[in-house]
Structure 1
Amino acid sequence: MLTVAELLTDQALGLELVAGTPAADREIEAAAVSELSHPGPWLQGGELLLTIGLLLPDTVEGCRSYLAELHEAGVRAVGLGLGAELPHQCAPQRLVAAADAVGMPLLTVPDGVPFIAVTKAVFAYRARAERRALERTLETQRALTAAAVSPGGLMGILNAHRDATGRDGVIVDQLGRVLAQTDPAGASLVERMAGPLTSIRDHGLSGAAVDISEGRRREVHALGAQRLRAWLLIDGPAEMPAAEQITGDLVSLLSLELERRHGLDSAQRRERAQVLDRLARGTVDDAVAARWLASLGLKDTDQRAAAISAPDDAEDLAADLLSTLRDALVRVVGSVVEVAVPLATDLPGALATLAPDRSAGIGIGVRPGAVAVSLRQARSALPASRVQGRHLRAEEIASSRMLLNAVGTEPLAAFTDAVLGPLDANDRATDLLRGLTAFLEHNGHWAAAASALRVHRHTMRNRIETVERLTGRRMDSAQDRHELWLALRARDITALSADPAK
Structure 2
Amino acid sequence: MGENRPIVFDNLSMLSIAELLADPDLRLSLVAGQDAVQDSEIEAAAVSELARPGPWLQGGELLLTIGLLLPGDFDGCRDYLADLKAAGVRAVALGLGGDLPHQCAPRRLIDAADEVGLPLLTVPDPVPFIAVTKAVFAHRARAERRELEWALQTQRALTAAAVSPGGLLGILAAHRTATGRTGVVIDLLGRVLAESDPGGDELSVALADQLTAVRDHGLAAAAVDISGGRRRELHGLGARRLRAWLLLDSPAEMPVAQQITGDLVSLLSLEIERRHGLDSGQRRGRAQVLDRLARATVDDVVAARWLTAVGVPDVDLRAAAVAAPQDADDLAADLLITLPDALVRVVDDVVELAVPRGTDLPGVLGTLAGHRAAGIGIGVRPGALAVSLRQARSALAASRVNGRHMPAEDIASSRLLLTAVGAEPLSAFADAVLGPLDAADRSAELLHSLTVFLENNGQWAPAAAALQVHRHTMRNRVDAIERLTGRRLDSVHDRHELWLALRARDAARMSTD
Q: Give the TM-score category using the shorter length.
A: over 0.9
Which letter maps to 2:142?
A: R
Instruction: Tell me the equivalent position of 1:161.
Output: 175
Contact 1:289 1:368 (C-alpha < 8 Å) held by counterparts: yes
Contact 2:229 2:252 (C-alpha < 8 Å) held by counterparts: yes
Instruction: Tell me the equivalent position of 1:198.
Output: 212
Instruction: Tell me the equivalent position of 2:19.
Output: 6
Q: Which runs of 5+ in 1 are unaligned?
A: none
**Partner Cα separation in structure 1 for residue 75 and residue 472 of structure 2:** 109
**Partner Cα separation in structure 1 for residue 75 and residue 480 of structure 2:** 110
Instruction: Tell me the equivalent position of 1:110.
Output: 124
Which letter maps to 1:110?
A: P
| Structure 1 position 215, deviation (Å) | 4.3
Q: Find 2:145's aligned residue among 119, 128, 131.
A: 131
> Cα 1:4–1:453, aligned 2, differ >3 Å: closer, same or farther?
farther
Instruction: Tell me the equivalent position of 2:63.
Output: 49
Instruction: Tell me the equivalent position of 1:361.
Output: 375
Q: Find 2:235's aligned residue among 201, 214, 221.
A: 221
Which letter maps to 2:53?
A: P
Q: How many residues of Structure 1 are paired with residues of Structure 2 in the alignment?
A: 499
Q: Which runs of 5+ in 2 are unaligned?
A: 1-13
| Structure 1 position 78, deviation (Å) | 0.9
Q: Find 1:380's aligned residue among 373, 384, 394.
A: 394
> Cα 1:448–1:70, aligned 2, differ >3 Å: closer, same or farther?
farther
Which letter maps to 2:215?
A: R
> Cα 1:7–1:440, aligned 2, differ >3 Å: closer, same or farther?
farther
| Structure 1 position 5, deviation (Å) | 2.8
> Cα 1:215–1:85, aligned 2, differ >3 Å: closer, same or farther?
farther
Worse-superposed segment, 317-326 or 155-164: 317-326
Worse-superposed segment, 477-486 or 443-452: 443-452
Contact 1:450 1:457 (C-alpha < 8 Å) held by counterparts: yes
| 3-state SS in 2 of match to 1:44 | coil
Q: Find 2:264's aligned residue among 234, 250, 256.
A: 250
| 3-state SS in 1 of match to 2:240 | coil
Instruction: Tell me the equivalent position of 1:16.
Output: 29
Contact 2:423 2:509 (C-alpha < 8 Å) held by counterparts: no
Instruction: Tell me the equivalent position of 1:474.
Output: 488
**Partner Cα separation in structure 2 for residue 30 and residue 455 of structure 1:** 101
Spell out structure 1 runs of 4+ moving beyond 6 A. Answer: none
**Partner Cα separation in structure 2 for residue 111 and residue 443 of structure 1:** 114
| Structure 1 position 164, deviation (Å) | 0.9
Which letter maps to 2:509?
A: A
| Structure 1 position 335, deviation (Å) | 2.0
| 3-state SS in 1 of match to 2:241 | coil
1:34 aligns with 2:40: no
**Partner Cα separation in structure 1 for residue 461 and residue 120 of structure 2:** 102
| 3-state SS in 2 of match to 1:90 | coil
**Partner Cα separation in structure 1 for residue 33 and residue 459 of structure 2:** 97
Q: Find 1:416's aligned residue among 430, 446, 451.
A: 430
**Partner Cα separation in structure 2 for residue 151 and residue 222 of structure 1:** 23
1:266 aligns with 2:289: no
Write out per-residue CA displacement over residues 22-67 of structure 1, whole angstroms, 9 at most, x where no aligned residue.
3212221001111111111221211000112121112222112111
| 3-state SS in 1 of match to 2:397 | helix
Which letter maps to 2:227?
A: S
Contact 1:32 1:49 (C-alpha < 8 Å) held by counterparts: yes
* RMSD, matched Cα: 2.0
> Cα 1:44–1:305, aligned 2, differ >3 Å: closer, same or farther?
same
> Cα 1:99–1:376, aligned 2, differ >3 Å: closer, same or farther?
same
| Structure 1 position 412, deviation (Å) | 2.0
Worse-superposed segment, 447-456 or 426-435: 447-456
Which letter maps to 2:386?
A: A
Percent of aligned positions with the same letter in both sequences? 74
Contact 1:133 1:242 (C-alpha < 8 Å) held by counterparts: no
| 3-state SS in 1 of match to 2:279 | helix
Write out per-residue CA displacement over residues 252-303 of structure 1, whole angstroms, 9 at most, x where no aligned residue.
1111111111100100000100110111011122222222222122222221
- Taking CA–CA contacts closer than 8 Å with sequence separation of 6 or more, which of the two structures ends up with the larger relative contact order? 2
Instruction: Tell me the equivalent position of 2:11.
Output: none
1:350 aligns with 2:364: yes
Contact 1:133 1:241 (C-alpha < 8 Å) held by counterparts: no
**Partner Cα separation in structure 2 for residue 201 and residue 110 of structure 1:** 61
Worse-superposed segment, 68-77 or 402-411: 402-411
| Structure 1 position 165, deviation (Å) | 0.6
Normalised to the residue count of structure 2, the TM-score between the two structures is: 0.92
**Partner Cα separation in structure 1 for residue 393 and residue 207 of structure 2:** 37
**Partner Cα separation in structure 1 for residue 230 and residue 121 of structure 2:** 33
**Partner Cα separation in structure 1 for residue 220 and residue 15 of structure 2:** 35
| 3-state SS in 2 of match to 1:407 | coil
**Partner Cα separation in structure 2 for residue 123 and residue 242 of structure 1:** 22
**Partner Cα separation in structure 1 for residue 48 and residue 159 of structure 2:** 48
Write out per-residue CA displacement over residues 403-424 of structure 1, whole angstroms, 9 at most, x where no aligned residue.
2223333332232123222222
> Cα 1:419–1:2, aligned 2, differ >3 Å: closer, same or farther?
same
Contact 2:453 2:463 (C-alpha < 8 Å) held by counterparts: yes
